[in-house]
Amino acid sequence: MLMMNSERRTTRLRQPGFTTAVRSIAAVTAMAFTSLVLQAPALAAAPASGKRVALFVTPKTKSAAGDAQVLQSFMRAELRKLVGVSVVAGQAEPPAPVKALVLPSIEAGFRALNERNASAALDAFEKAYRDVTQYKGPVDKRLLARVLKGLGAAQVMNGLPEGSDTLDTSLNVWPNQQISDYSWTLDLRTAFNELVNRRAQLAPGSVDIDTVPSGAAVRIDGELKGFSPVEVKDLTAGKHWVETSIDGYRWVAMFVEVPAGESAIHSVELETTPNKGAFDNAVKALERGMPKGAVAGPLSDLARVTTADAVIALEVSKTDEGYALSGFVRDGGELKKVATVVPQDGSMPENLRKFLATALGVQTAADDSELPLDGPPQTAVFTEGDIIIDPNDPIFAEKKKQDEDPVTSEWWFWALVGGVTAGLVVGGVALFGSQAEGSGPAGNVILKVNNLP
């Protein structure tokens, strides 16, 4: 069966007493974003004919170099949330968005879970997991969490021991999950509850991330953490999804094990892209031309090198009001000026997204970052001793013609309900009649009669 081990580079535990000098190119700038949720790119499922957009942010002054670096990474992430837009840069990203590759398997997997077909669910989620971990580009945080949740649930339902580790990784990527979201089977709910209790006993860990070359954007579980070399602290023990990217080099992502109460060192040597020389020359020409407004040639070169349909080039400076952005958009053969001032507050992601959508003439996609992950279609909230009778459960399924009455019209269903209820009443008299109040087992009968005619 598929194992949760996708490391393509060596990650070694730090020896006791070992210290590493951690440098961050934009440490001060990154601290200014602590009130923001710098989440992973939410890739839109854009068709192949969607608009391919490249974006570059340059500093207006030397003091704004750190701001430009952070904003470029952040705004590229916001670009991916626009309808019909795919982002291209100097990283040789795959032509097809990851959602187009993985969504069919995810949907098939959750359908199989809802039908209690554990074997089919495992097959679907194993394929989704392979496609996600082998993808050479940014992966949406929610998409990755859905794959891990479905795979872990399928592994547990199939009795595979690695299921608990997979669910643990899914909680690292998407912490806000509840036991009620795992009500496909009682065994699965039990496994999830035991996992949550075990996680609560573990001390957090940390990881030092270094890349060759340095200066790569580092995302952990979909959140921008800084630029290499960088130390990331207070991580829940277990596997975390680490992405490193820098223009002119291929995107690298993998799971990295973070030990409880200790620190790990993770090093990645990035591979150059075939067109790195031409790309670097075009970027340098853009940086020279931006102060003078001489950008037509560099933007055309960048469009050619990145195969972009549109190129956005912006200069950034810091003001009392926030970030002042001004520059140009080359969309097809048209060149136009754009400018905005974005306050540095909680509304900054939305304001940047609206600015980019207006500049490109497209719409923003619905934000699904706060939506819960997939769960059973009718989540049953079990408590100890509860008996759930759901007429829509597959256990009651029979081969019937489409024009037959629903299961609730069958005499045996109501006989079963009555028998269970009567049995509990009689059993309750026998169990509790001679005992002190509050002693002995207790429970409820929960009758679900949804969709009655």
- The secondary structure of 114-153 as a DSSP string is HTT-HHHHHHHHHHHHHHHHT-SS---HHHHHHHHHHHHH
pLDDT in the model for residue 423: 46
Backbone phi, then psi, for 149, in 5-degree steps?
Answer: -65, -50
* Displacement of CA 335 from its chain's centroid (Å): 35
pLDDT in the model for residue 333: 80
Q: Which two tokens stand for residue 85?
A: 């837009």
Between CA 74 and CA 356 the distance in angstroms is: 12
In a domain, 406, yes or no: yes
In a domain, 439, yes or no: yes
Between CA 97 and CA 82 the distance in angstroms is: 13
Q: Which domain holds residue 420?
A: 387-447
pLDDT in the model for residue 38: 33
In a domain, 67, yes or no: no
pLDDT in the model for residue 197: 96
In a domain, 314, yes or no: no
Looking at residues 196-200, what average pLDDT do you find? 96
* Residue-wise pLDDT tens digits, 85-115: 888 887 766 767 888 899 999 999 999 999 9
**CA angle centred on 326, ends 325 and 331, rounded to 5°:** 115
pLDDT in the model for residue 172: 97
% of the chain at pLDDT higher than 70: 71
Total domains in the chain come to: 1
Looking at residues 286-292, what average pLDDT do you find? 94
Paired residues of 324 in beta bridges = 317, 341
Lookup result for tokens 């009620």: 180
Report the b/e string of 156-173 with b at 16+ CB within 10 A: bbeebebbbbbbbbbbbb
Tell me: pLDDT of 451 over 50. Answer: no
In a domain, 420, yes or no: yes
Report residue 40's pLDDT band, with 50, 70 and 90 as the boundaries.
Answer: very low
Angle, helix 65-79 to helix 348-360, in steps of 10 degrees: 70
pLDDT in the model for residue 453: 43
pLDDT in the model for residue 369: 66
Report residue 442's pLDDT band, with 50, 70 and 90 as the boundaries.
Answer: very low
pLDDT in the model for residue 86: 87
194 contacts 224 by C-beta, under 8 angstroms: no
* Residue-wise pLDDT tens digits, 113-129: 999 999 999 999 999 99
* Residue-wise pLDDT tens digits, 339-397: 999 998 889 999 999 999 999 999 887 766 667 899 998 644 444 444 444 444 444 44
pTM: 0.73
pLDDT in the model for residue 96: 75
In a domain, 240, yes or no: no
pLDDT in the model for residue 34: 34
Q: Of 49-53, 121-125, 197-201, 263-267, give the lowest mean pLDDT range.
A: 49-53
Lookup result for tokens 């430009």: 68
In a domain, 400, yes or no: yes
* Residue-wise pLDDT tens digits, 142-168: 999 999 999 999 999 999 999 999 999
- Residue-averaged pLDDT of the chain: 78
pLDDT in the model for residue 250: 92
Longest dimension (CA), the chain: 93
Based on its alpha-carbon atoms, the radius of gyration of the chain, rounded to whole angstroms, reads 27
* Residue-wise pLDDT tens digits, 213-253: 999 999 999 999 999 999 999 999 999 999 999 999 999 99
Distances 333 to 297, 308, 311, 329 between C-alpha atoms, Å: 12, 12, 11, 10
In a domain, 443, yes or no: yes
Q: Of 2-11, 16-25, 332-341, 432-441, give the lowest mean pLDDT range.
A: 16-25
Looking at residues 279-296, what average pLDDT do you find? 94
Higher pLDDT, 24 or 447: 447
Running DSSP on this structure, what letter comes out for residue 447? Answer: E
